[in-house]
Amino acid sequence: MIVVLGSFRIPPSMTDVIRPAMEAMVRGSLAEEGCIEYSYALDVLDPGLVRVLERWRDRAALEAHLRTVHIAEWRAQCSALAISERELTGYETKDDGFHF
């Protein structure tokens, strides 16, 4: 499994404007073959900070995701939506991770 963790920033005043683009990205990604989890979360204490969590079946699924229309559209919108400080890191894990 591939886990991607990270964050990006949006202007707090533009949250409602950016939300539809974020929703489209999440819905499109969740519909992909091999996507286990895909989510954005607004940080409670740091306005404008968006946390990212993705889980993919394998590297091939993640690589296919990077070639989709919805990610191309998202990337094309990033500067217009004033998205900045994008940092994502991928980790290869075993499927039998910790369970609490």
Complete domains list, the chain, with CATH:
2-92 (3.30.70.100)
pLDDT digits (tens, 9 = 90+) for 60-99: 999 999 999 999 999 888 888 899 999 999 999 987 666 6
Task: Locate 88 and state its tokens.
Answer: 């994502």
Buried b (16+ CB within 10 A) or exposed e, 60-76: ebbeebeeeebeeebee
Is pTM, for the whole model, over 0.75? yes
Q: Is the pLDDT of residue 39 over 80?
A: yes
Query: H-type helices in 1-100, by residue range?
Result: 15-30, 59-65, 69-77
Q: pLDDT value at position 94?
A: 82
